[in-house]
Structure 1
């Protein structure tokens, strides 16, 4: 059952786009349209503009993005293939609701990859790269002072991405890129609650990298990402969010 706005529960019901979100400019056309639509929908899912379990209605999404239904249909199929969207016979498309196990596996894998990334970054860091880290830290602290969830998620991703670049390991960078978007999806609802603690951990890690202490940098990153994993599970327990497999 829906209310007057068309809002429904995360279990598979519908929430109308009308009035619930800020107006969005029509997508620019130079890039292939199907790719632009895919990227826009993926970011809307990652930033929780489209909530887990939300019913995705093609014509509403098309109107919201200023495109026809065909590229939206193609994007939803691709998002389904990549695990972002569930297609249910006779019901339509819904934002995937991650299970506890899915989140834990990905965040645990992230810990392994990023700890090695930080270790190598400390080993290979140049003064210019360290200064860039400090700039990204300041950007994160600014987002924190503005209490902007989207800006916090973006700043966090940018700082971690620069650390990966500093590692100089292209294979490691490719592996981390494979989990980056989903990591941001899981991080988004806890960006504020991690808040000052997370950015204090970043600051300590940057100074350790600047000192060239690779072992310590790897250990700090391991603890940092483990705290993020624990915060995600704690938030899920406190919210009473059910596991879709139970």
Structure 2
């Protein structure tokens, strides 16, 4: 185990096509958002390069990009560290998410058919089962799939694109509180499904 402390099997394979620096960026972002790399953790270029089987240059480029996007903090004479989100950042992000998803829910209530509603019910059942099994990572993933399905049913491509930009960051913030939220989150999802099925745009 290297000092970056990655769990066994956590490192994604760099098999997708595209520039190496982009694939390294995607791999590191996935490790951050899933919290395999923890907030505040020191990121050593040479060790990350060894984990990913690449040279240090694409790792350095990826870290610079992650710094620009707010996922990593580059500190002079200290190196790179996973950003530690503040409550203010979380509040701002969730405010934006609320605006986007409230409109998505309204549009879903206006447009969703029976197959789409059935898919939401299936996703909700999966989430409830994962919460009951105390599978936090699985529940977080199921929560993301549920919200993505509502966005899909809204039928607005621009709205979906904007929501996708904040989705990873929302998952990053949500993971630590997923266990506390537990069943309450899925109770709210059930109420949302009912509003969509009733075509009640305002309630949704």
* TM-score, length-scaled by structure 2: 0.92
Q: 1:170: how far off?
A: 2.0
Partner of 1:181: 168
Q: 1:76: how far off?
A: 0.7
| SS of match in other structure, 1:62 | helix
Q: CA RMSD in A?
A: 1.8
Q: 1:24, 1:65 within 8 Å by CA — same for their partners in 2? A: no
Q: 1:26: how far off?
A: 6.4
Partner of 2:95: 108
Q: 1:24: how far off?
A: 4.2
Q: Deviations over 1:33-67 (max 9, x none)?
A: 32222112111111221111111011111222233
Partner of 1:99: 86
Q: 1:23, 1:64 within 8 Å by CA — same for their partners in 2? A: no
Query: 2-side partners of 1:180 and 1:30: how far apart?
Result: 21
Equivalent of 1:72, from 48, 59, 75?
59
- Gap regions ≥5 residues in structure 1: 6-14, 218-246
Partner of 1:21: 7
Q: Deviations over 1:98-153 (max 9, x none)?
A: 22221111111111111111111011111111111112112212321332222111
Q: 1:120, 1:167 within 8 Å by CA — same for their partners in 2? A: yes
Equivalent of 1:193, from 155, 180, 188?
180
Q: 2:33, 2:172 within 8 Å by CA — same for their partners in 1? A: yes
Equivalent of 1:151, from 100, 118, 138?
138
Partner of 2:117: 130
Q: Deviations over 1:144-163 (max 9, x none)?
A: 13322221111111100110
Q: 1:17: how far off?
A: 2.8
- Relative distance call for 1:185 and 1:26 in structure 2 (3 A) is closer
Q: Which moved more, 1:184-193 or 1:96-105?
A: 96-105
Equivalent of 2:23, from 25, 30, 36?
36
Q: Deviations over 1:161-192 (max 9, x none)?
A: 11011111222212212211111111010111
Q: 1:25: how far off?
A: 5.8
- Gap regions ≥5 residues in structure 2: none
